[in-house]
Structure 1
Amino acid sequence: MARLRAVPAPTPPVPRAHRRLRVLYLTCHLPFPPHSGGRLRDAELIRHLADRAEIHLCVVSKTYEQDLAHQAEAERYCASVAVLPAAPVAGGAADDTTPEKIRRHHCPEMRELLAAKLAAGDFDVIHVEGYYLMQHVPADASVPVFLGTQNVEYLLEEQRSTLCGAAAPVRAEVQDAARWAEESAWLRADACGAVSHDDLTHIRTHVRIPVTRWTPDGSDHLSPTDTGDLLPGLGNGPRVLYLANFGYQPSADAGRLLCEQIWPSVHSQVPDARLILAGANPPDWLREYAAHDSSITVTGPVESVTPLLLRADLFLAPLRIGGGVKVKILEALTAGCAVVTTPVGAQGLAPEVRAAMAVVADEHDAVEAATALLRSPERREELRAAARDVASRLPSWPQAARLLHDAWLAMLDRVRTAARESAYARVDERVG
C-alpha cells in the first residue's frame, strides 16, 4: 500500500495590513529631536510607520540624560520607549580585536530588557538598526530579526586607515576582526536592509541571506517652510553652508578639512563670502576657528535646517569617509541648493542625481569648484534647477517607510516558507 504523505501543522499566517506588526525597534540613539542624519532616518521612519506598526523603541544611549529629556517626543509615535545608558568597554589590550562600535554600545541591561520583552510579548519583528547592536539580541530569540544597515562599517574603517596611513596604522588582525564581526551579524539576521544599492550589492556578494532589501532614506517633497533668516547679521555676501553632526567622526573630518585647507583659499578669492557650519556637537577646535576668523560662523544644533538651506548660495560637503547615502546631501538637493561634494558625499546616488551636483576629486578641486560657483550666479542657478528636478524624483519618507514595512513582510513570508519546508522535510524523513 502506498504511504500517505502526512501534512504538517500549518504555520501561523504572516501578519498583513489589517493587523499592525508588533516591532521591537533597537537603535543607538533616541531619534528625537532629529539632530543628525541617523536620528532623522529613524525619526521619519518611525513617524510614518506608526499607523501600520506598533513600535516598541529600545535605545542604547551614549547621551543618556539628553535622550531621557526628549523621551516624550518618541512616545507620541511608539507604543513604548525604553532608554538605557551604554556601558562602554575599554579597549587597549594588545590582543583585543573587538570592534570599537561593539565596545561603545555594550549594555548588559539592554540584553536583559530584550529577553524580558520577548518572553512577555507577542512580537512579530525585531528590527536592529546597526550590526553592533546585535550583541543585545538573545541568541535563542524565536522572533525574526531584520538588520538595518546604514553603512558597511568595516569599509568605513578601511577608508579611515587609508586616509591616516602611517600616522595611525591599523593592525590587519583588527580590520579582519571588524569584517568578521559585521558579516557574522548579517548572517545571524533573517533579513538585511541597506540604504544604498551599492551597500546592498556588497552584502549580497559577501553573504547568502534569503531576504536583502533596499531600504532607502527619504526626502521631504513638500515645499520647505521658510521661518526667516536665522543669521541676519551675516550681511549680503554669498553664504557657503555645511551641515553635520560633528560628533560623528567622518562629518568632523570633513569639517576640519573645510576649515584648514579649503575655506582659506576660497575666502581669499571671494572675500565677502561667509562659511556657516551648522549641526550638533561642534567641538572646541571648530569653535576656535570661528573665534579667530570672522568669516566663519558655527551655529550648533538648530531646530530646522530649512532656513539655512534656503539662504545658502552653496552647499559644500568635502567628505572623505562614509558609506550609504548622506541625508545632508538629500536635504540640500530637496531645498534646491547648488551642491559641491566628493565621490564619498555622492555615494549611493544614481548617476542622474550625481549629475545635478559638482562632484570633485579632492580639496584642490573643491576650492576651484566652489570659487567658480560663487563667482557665477548663472551656473549656481543651473545647479539649483537640476537639484530641484532630481529631488522631486527621490524617494519620500512615506515611500521609504513603506519599503521598510514591505521588507519586514518579505522576511516574515520567507520565515514562514522555510518553516513549512522544514516541517515537510521532517515528515518525509519519518515516513520515507
Structure 2
Amino acid sequence: MSHKIYLVSLTFERENDTKEYEPFCQELKLVYQPKAKALANSALFLFTPVPLEVAYCRNKKMNSTVKEMMKEKRIDLIYIKRLRAAQFVDPETTIPVVLDTTDAMSRYYREATKSAPWYRKPLFLEEQFKYRLYEKRMSRAFKNWVVCSPVELEYLKRRTSADVKFFLVPNGVDTDFYTPTDFAPERHSILLSGLMDKFVNIEAAQYFIKDILPAILEKIPDVKLYIVGPNPPLSLRKLARHNIIITGGVEDLRGYISRSKVVVVPIKTGTGTRNKILQSWAMARPVVTTSKGLQGLKAIDNEHVFVADDPKLFADKIIMLLKDDTLQKELIQNSLKLVEEKYAMKTIVDELNTILQRVAS
C-alpha cells in the first residue's frame, strides 16, 4: 500500500543532503536550529522538569511548521520518531498519533548513571528522573507507542498510563545495502564502531582498549583495532597507537566492516538494540558482544554470536575467532540466517505498516 509522506525534521546542520529521503516524501521540510541556540535552551531549562535533551530541541518554528503542515494537508496519521520530538505535536490533536520512542530514555540514563564518572552522575541522574516524568506525561497525551525490544516494553508499561497500547517492532537492517562481499578481511583485524560522542560508545571503546585488548596482544601481537565513528573526544583520540586506528566519521561504514575479521560491541551500559550487530551479521562478519550489547535481539550465545561480560573471556572469544576460520564460518552462517528470517528491513517495514494502518483506521 502506498502512502503520501510529509516529513518535517529539526536539523542542527546548515547544509543537509536530503537526496536519500526525497524519493519517499511528498514534501520534506527541514527546520534549522543552531547548536549554540540548542545549548542555550538546555541551560535555560536546567532547573525545570523538562529533560535537557528535550529542551535542546525546543524550536518555535518547528512547532509552527508542524502545525501548518497538519492544517494544510490531509493527514491521516502522525508518526513521531523519538520522544524528544513529541513536543512538536499538539497533545489535543484529533489525528491518530504513533509515538516511536525506540528506547526508554529514563532507563537509558538509569543504566548510564551506574558506570558514569563521578562528574557525569549528577547530570545523568537528573535526566533519569526528568525523563520518568516526561514519559508519564507523554503517555497521557499519546496512546500508541512503538518500542524496539521486550525489555523496553515491559519497563515502560510499568511507568506509563495504563491505557497506552505498546507495539513491539525490532530494529531491522537493509539487507540490500548491507550484504556479504568477496572482499577478504585484513588478517587479525577488529572493528569497533558507533557514534563516538555518545557516552555508551566512549565507555565501550575505553573498556576494550584498557581491559580486553592487552590480553589479545599477548597471544596475537599483530592484531589491529579500528575504532570508527564521528566526533571521538580527545580522551579517546589520545589512546590511538600504530595498531589502534581511530578514524573519526567515515562516508561508508561497510568498507570497514568488510576489512575486519571480527566486529566487537563491548557495551557496558545503554538500552535498545544495536544496529551495528545487525549490520555486521548481514555482511557476514562474526560478532563478540556483552549481554547488554545483545539485549533485545533473539540470538543465542555460541550459535549466532559470542557473548562475554568478563574482559578475559571476551578476549578469549576474539582470539578463538581470529585463529579458527571454521568457527568463524559456523557463526556467520547462523547469524546470516537469523538476519534474513527476523531482522531484514523488508519484514520490519511490513510489521510497522500493519500497525500504522491499524491505528489510522
TM-score range, shorter chain: 0.7 to 0.9
SS of 1:71 mapped into structure 2: coil
AA paired with 1:383? Answer: L
Query: Which residue does the alignment assign to 1:196?
Result: 149
AA paired with 1:237? Answer: R
Deviation at 1:75, TM superposition (A): 1.7
CA contact (8 A) 1:159 1:321 kept: yes
What is the aligned counterpart of 1:258 among 205, 208, 223?
Answer: 208
Query: Which residue does the alignment assign to 2:352?
Result: 404
The 1:94/1:381 distance shift into structure 2, 3 A limit, reads closer
The 1:221/1:118 distance shift into structure 2, 3 A limit, reads closer
Deviation at 1:139, TM superposition (A): 3.3
Question: Aligned partners of 2:153 and 2:127: how far apart in 1?
Answer: 24
Within 5 Å, which residues of 2 pair with 1:97-116? 97-116=49-68
Question: Aligned partners of 1:339 and 1:219: how far apart in 2?
Answer: 15
Question: Aligned partners of 1:239 and 1:261: how far apart in 2?
Answer: 18
Query: Which residue does the alignment assign to 1:133?
Result: 85
Find out whether 1:382 has 2:330 as its counterpart. Answer: yes
Question: Aligned partners of 1:75 and 1:319: how far apart in 2?
Answer: 34
The 1:142/1:85 distance shift into structure 2, 3 A limit, reads same
Deviation at 1:227, TM superposition (A): 8.3
Question: Aligned partners of 1:115 and 1:305: how far apart in 2?
Answer: 37
Name stretches of at least 5 consecutive residues in structure 2 with no aligned partner.
none
CA contact (8 A) 2:263 2:280 kept: yes
CA contact (8 A) 2:179 2:283 kept: yes
What is the aligned counterpart of 1:337 among 270, 285, 289?
Answer: 285
Structure number with larger C-alpha Rg:
1
Within 5 Å, which residues of 2 pair with 1:195-234? 195-207=148-160, 208-222=162-176, 224=179, 226=181
Deviation at 1:357, TM superposition (A): 1.0
Deviation at 1:167, TM superposition (A): 5.1
Q: Which moved more, 1:237-246 or 1:296-305?
A: 296-305
SS of 2:5 mapped into structure 1: strand
What is the aligned counterpart of 1:74 among 11, 21, 32?
Answer: 21
The 1:90/1:305 distance shift into structure 2, 3 A limit, reads closer
Deviation at 1:391, TM superposition (A): 2.3
Question: Aligned partners of 2:302 and 2:68: how far apart in 1?
Answer: 47
Query: Which residue does the alignment assign to 1:310?
Result: 258
Q: Which moved more, 1:115-124 or 1:92-101?
A: 92-101
SS of 2:227 mapped into structure 1: strand
Deviation at 1:91, TM superposition (A): 2.8
CA contact (8 A) 2:187 2:261 kept: no
Deviations 1:338-365 (A, max 9, x none): 2110111101011447841111114343
Find out whether 1:288 has 2:243 as its counterpart. Answer: no
What root-mean-square deviation, in Å, do the aligned CA atoms of Structure 1 and Structure 2 show? Answer: 2.6
CA contact (8 A) 1:114 1:138 kept: no
What is the aligned counterpart of 2:193 among 243, 259, 262?
Answer: 243
CA contact (8 A) 1:132 1:182 kept: no
SS of 2:121 mapped into structure 1: coil
Query: Which residue does the alignment assign to 1:45?
Result: none
Deviation at 1:255, TM superposition (A): 1.9
Question: Aligned partners of 1:141 and 1:354: how far apart in 2?
Answer: 49
Question: Aligned partners of 1:313 and 1:166: how far apart in 2?
Answer: 36
AA paired with 1:269? Answer: K
Question: Aligned partners of 1:138 and 1:353: how far apart in 2?
Answer: 45
Deviations 1:248-279 (A, max 9, x none): 33223212222333223322331111111123
Question: Aligned partners of 1:227 and 1:264: how far apart in 2?
Answer: 31
Find out whether 1:55 has 2:5 as its counterpart. Answer: yes
SS of 2:31 mapped into structure 1: strand
Query: Which residue does the alignment assign to 1:11?
Result: none
Deviation at 1:173, TM superposition (A): 6.3
Query: Which residue does the alignment assign to 1:273?
Result: 223
